[in-house]
Structure 1
Amino acid sequence: MIMKKIFLITTIASTIFAVGCSNNNEVGQEDFHIQENKNTISFVGGIDNNQTATRTSITHTIGNGAIAYWSSGDKIWVKDNSGVFHQSSAGVLNTTKAKGLFNMPNGMYSNGCQVNYVGGSSDGTKVTIAANQSQTVANDFSHAGVSGDCGTAIATGSGSSFVFTLQHKAAYLCLMPRSTNAAFMACKLTGIKIISNNAIAGVYDFSSGNLSTAPISSTSNTISLTTNNFSIPNIETQSFASYVVIAPGVHTLTIQYQLLDPNIGQAGTVTKYVSSTFVAGNIYDIKSNFDTNTIGREYYLWDAKYDTWFGHTADQPYKNDTYDTNGINNYPVSSSDIRWYNPTTSMSARAQNSSKDCPTTNEITWYAKFGDPHWDANELWAWNGMGTVQKGGMWIKKKAYISGFTASIGATGVDYNSNPVLQASFSTPAIQGRPSSSDINKYFFLPAEGRYRFFRDGKTGIMKDVGVTGTYFPSTNTPVVPSAPDGTYALHFTKDFLALSNGGTKKDAIMNWKAQ
């Protein structure tokens, strides 16, 4: 008897916007026997007969294959000489899960009879790939059978003694998130939602021994996996893996990792994208690095040489409406401070220091008017080495996808770089939700990073509006009112709009950005 094995594994490595794939290889085969005179089928693979009834489980090792086991209560279906499928009794399995005996109470069988394993289905010709799956222990794929694992074989033999090899016909995902950011590592994985451009779950016809190309009922383009607060490791490891059964096929998948920071109650998602041909019988390793959702912690006054909390990083506040307890001693308040904004008064002068790579005011107008803003209320992000996870931000169309985009003139026909229009501002309503997976590469993401206000609520250097608004400086010196040189235009957004704002001040501390 041959142990049923899953051989080589396919690996898919994924980031926020890019995916790489390697070769696809066979998941596994299993050997069975219909024993002479007793109409029984003997399986290699199984479990102690006294255990709780479940369905097949899979033990997976990255790079070294995997082994599929049978569980107590498993049954198979065999097609008799009249073309009717009959269900076996529950398998009698040994304690090593390596062998089992399945009795066929009805039917006559000949060489070439078809054997189906259909998980928990009550019909030997149908398989249900569950739209809602559950995993209670990390790196445990014991839910494979109840989630939709299935297989088929053609038996060879004569009389009542047959041998056959079962081949798996679903596809499988092994999801492995990680992050070196302490904010993400403090979170727990509560679930994973997989959204496809086509069907990946439902009731499939399995009469031929292959899943039908589309479900025959209960069609779903989404699979939700409930997890039991799994940890996020800081290294690439299988120890915290989550598993999903999906229908094979060519799929573009949006994978939303659902996280909860139990310390502050913050919940949100980290989203990744995978496009591939998912072959029946293959298991795919999907590695997701959450560090791509990490941003710097440096906030600057306009074109300052040093960030606002330079020399005082231990006192930098990171929660809304909090400020340094040392007050104005740690926030720059005068031009004698090395962290003060660039004092140039030359109209249209370009930034020379921290803001020199930011878009010009003209470029900001193109984003504000034609950037097709999409507000993302759920995507999590975190500062590098500071605080906890935050969420909220705007997806804005990249300049390559904005017709007529130019730095030489504003989107309204005015050259804002050299001739600011007094009190001119405009906004574009935001669409709620991120762009589609097919268009996401046309957009870039700006977090709603809030800002440190020079003076607000009676405090200097108070953190305001994290997760609520985003404000970003231009690289050009374009004060709204020339007589007030510390005022400036800026890119500004809330959940409702994206705007060219004329209400900025160079004394506020804001993050820098680059045109994309």
Structure 2
Amino acid sequence: MMKKTMKQYSFASQLKSLAVVFGVALTFASCAKEDVVQNPTNKEGDNDKNLTTFVAGDEAKTRTSLDYNSSDFSWEAGDYIYVKDDDGVMRKSTNAPTQKVASFKYKVPGKFTEHTSYKVYYLGKNSNGSQVTISANQTQTAPDNTEHFGTVGDYGTATATGAVGGSIFSFQLEHQPAYLVFQPYTSNTILRNCYLTKVEVTSDNDIAETYSVNTTTGALDASAGTGSKQIVLTTSGSSTNPNGFPLTNSAANVTTNGAYMVIKPGTHILKVRYWVKDEATNVEGTITKTLPATAYASNTYYDMTANLNVRDYDGDHYYMWDAQEQYWKDYEWTRHLSGNTGQPTLNNNSSPNYPQSNSDVSRWYNESYPGYGVSNPATHSSCKDLPNANEMSWYCVYGDPRWDGDELWTTMGHLYKGGMWFKKKAVLQAENHYDTEKSADNTTDLRTTYKDYNNTNSSITSGLPSAADANKYFYLPALGYYYSGQLNLVGDGGYYWSSSAYPWGSSGAYNLNFFSGYVYVGSNYRSYGFRAEALQ
């Protein structure tokens, strides 16, 4: 599971005094190594009286791409800086590194003679000098690589200091975003053959933003209407990693698949969806982790380690209605019986060894029928403690069902996706939308009067519960059903028994079933092999 408490590392460091330079640098306080100031490749400015010198010195943590293991940043090719001069004009440096370097000497035009300090901005690679955007779409081409920072919204500010009338100043850049370092791992043999194709992060508030330079205050202010609550970091599609990052590691390893995301600092509830793909089967889906509200500070990176596993659902909970034993008792798929004699594990496969009459006493459905309009609850352990038909109707109508066609899970040795999110019982009760004695119309008792409920609201396919509301919902997988010994619709439909029999005849019982566009509570033949599982 993703760690609830994540390690934090401050990017802030002590400014190294450079008496004769306007220096830019980035170090952690724990980093003692000294960087050697290098002359820029473009040497036009050393003796140019019209330019002021800005040197990136030995602040190993304030550059623009991060070396995770050494905790050092580097300046990347194309990293320009901007400085506000005596006339209030934002001036762009005339030069920038042409390759990754530990330090750099910048040259900036403009008037810098009246003050001992000036505001310095690093606004990333795509800025026009007036604003910077933390992008909602970020791309990383290789594991443990942060060269994309400059194009997806990394930015920083500093106050440069020097002598009045001097031509050289020094400063320490302080990065303003927060940084998430995703480090997924897995011991699941199916997932270890998959690749991480992207990381999708959704928040209860904005985590992507455009900031504009306030020409009066010098501050970087969030621009109204530019924010986004979601950021997608793509890790596939590059020439070096076309399939994405590998998931071959059983412990967190930033070298194997470390993925870095730049986000807006602040207190966020984050829902992280790891997208993984099995190239052999072409199945792609998500594994979701939800984190509680956490304060993500600027100039700080957070280790987001996550043990990726998928929920595995056994094959032992398919029953005829209120049967004493499961549908495939003595023929379970785990016995690995020869031929087609055992429990089918793939859609449209069948076996003759299913319960075919009431002579198969333990696996056959409960045939009880006390009479028309008489309540007829389940009596065996398989179904007697399941929600009754009235209770199921509330999940259908007021459970705000949301189809999820991406969340991955396994059953009987195979990988699937497809299921429905419903509000939990406790949430429905708190909203006064739950009753054992009456169904969702607040009048009909389905145990004695037949009625069905059908929800086809467009909200079912409108998207998943928000990050803030995720803990109010539970997930039901589309585990399909058995009929006449054949497995059907795994990954497409869910069929779940209630504890209530059909009140107007002896052949049926209530159940909850769903597909991608609808949820239904009604009656089906008791001989179907539906799932018998409690709802949350």
Place the TM-score, normalised by the shorter chain, in its bin: 0.7 to 0.9
Q: Which runs of 5+ in 2 are unaligned?
A: 23-45, 237-243, 337-341, 371-375
- Letter of the aligned partner of 1:41 in structure 2? F
> How do 1:53-64 residues align onto structure 2 when only pairs under 5 Å count?
56-61=64-69
2:430 maps to 1:444: no
Where does residue 521 of structure 2 map in the other structure? Answer: 500
Where does residue 242 of structure 1 map in the other structure? Answer: 259
Deviation, 1:504, is: 3.5
CA offsets per residue over residues 26-60 of structure 1, 9 Å max, x none?
2344857563975433223699xxxxxxx931122
Whole-Å separation in 2 of the counterparts to 1:475 and 1:257: 37
Whole-Å separation in 1 of the counterparts to 2:361 and 2:410: 24
Report the CA distance shift for 1:224/1:130 in structure 2 as closer, same or farther (over 3 A): same
> How do 1:199-348 residues align onto structure 2 when only pairs under 5 Å count?
199-207=206-214, 210-212=219-221, 214-215=222-223, 218-228=226-236, 229-233=244-248, 235-237=250-252, 238=254, 239-274=256-291, 275-291=293-309, 293-301=311-319, 302=321, 303-306=323-326, 308=328, 310-313=331-334, 314=336, 316-323=343-350, 327-329=351-353, 331-334=354-357, 340-341=363-364, 343=366, 345=368, 348=376
Where does residue 475 of structure 1 map in the other structure? Answer: 499
Q: Percent identity?
A: 30
> How do 1:368-387 residues align onto structure 2 when only pairs under 5 Å count?
368-376=396-404, 378-384=405-411, 386-387=413-414
Q: Which runs of 5+ in 1 are unaligned?
A: 1-12, 48-54, 456-460
Whole-Å separation in 2 of the counterparts to 1:283 and 1:29: 14
1:151/1:209 contact within 8 Å kept: no
Whole-Å separation in 2 of the counterparts to 1:340 and 1:452: 13
Count residues with an aligned counterpart.
Answer: 470
2:40 maps to 1:35: no
Could you tell me the TM-score, scaled by structure 2's length? 0.76
Residue of 140, 150, 156 corresponding to 2:155 = 150
Whole-Å separation in 2 of the counterparts to 1:169 and 1:494: 45
Where does residue 29 of structure 2 map in the other structure? Answer: none
Report the CA distance shift for 1:336/1:185 in structure 2 as closer, same or farther (over 3 A): farther
- Letter of the aligned partner of 1:227 in structure 2? T
Deviation, 1:276, is: 3.1
Whole-Å separation in 1 of the counterparts to 2:219 and 2:314: 50
Residue of 88, 94, 116 corresponding to 1:111 = 116
Deviation, 1:188, is: 2.6
Query: SS at 2:316's partner residue?
Result: coil
Report the CA distance shift for 1:444/1:311 in structure 2 as closer, same or farther (over 3 A): closer
Compare the two structures and name the one with the higher strand fraction.
1
Deviation, 1:236, is: 4.2
Deviation, 1:349, is: 4.5
Where does residue 8 of structure 1 map in the other structure? Answer: none
Query: SS at 2:471's partner residue?
Result: helix
1:380/1:391 contact within 8 Å kept: yes
- Letter of the aligned partner of 2:250 in structure 1? I
Could you tell me the TM-score, scaled by structure 1's length? 0.79
Where does residue 176 of structure 1 map in the other structure? Answer: 183
Whole-Å separation in 2 of the counterparts to 1:224 and 1:448: 27
Deviation, 1:140, is: 1.8
Deviation, 1:450, is: 0.8
Deviates more, 1:337-346 or 1:380-389: 337-346
Where does residue 427 of structure 1 map in the other structure? Answer: 454
Residue of 336, 346, 360 corresponding to 2:388 = 360
- Letter of the aligned partner of 1:474 in structure 2? S
Residue of 415, 425, 436 corresponding to 1:407 = 436
Query: SS at 1:71's partner residue?
Result: coil
- Letter of the aligned partner of 2:116 in structure 1? N
Residue of 498, 504, 510 corresponding to 1:489 = 510
> How do 1:43-82 residues align onto structure 2 when only pairs under 5 Å count?
43-44=56-57, 56-61=64-69, 66-82=71-87
Query: SS at 2:150's partner residue?
Result: helix
Query: SS at 1:165's partner residue?
Result: coil
CA RMSD between the two structures: 3.4
Whole-Å separation in 1 of the counterparts to 2:140 and 2:192: 20
Whole-Å separation in 1 of the counterparts to 2:8 and 2:80: 29
Report the CA distance shift for 1:317/1:311 in structure 2 as closer, same or farther (over 3 A): closer
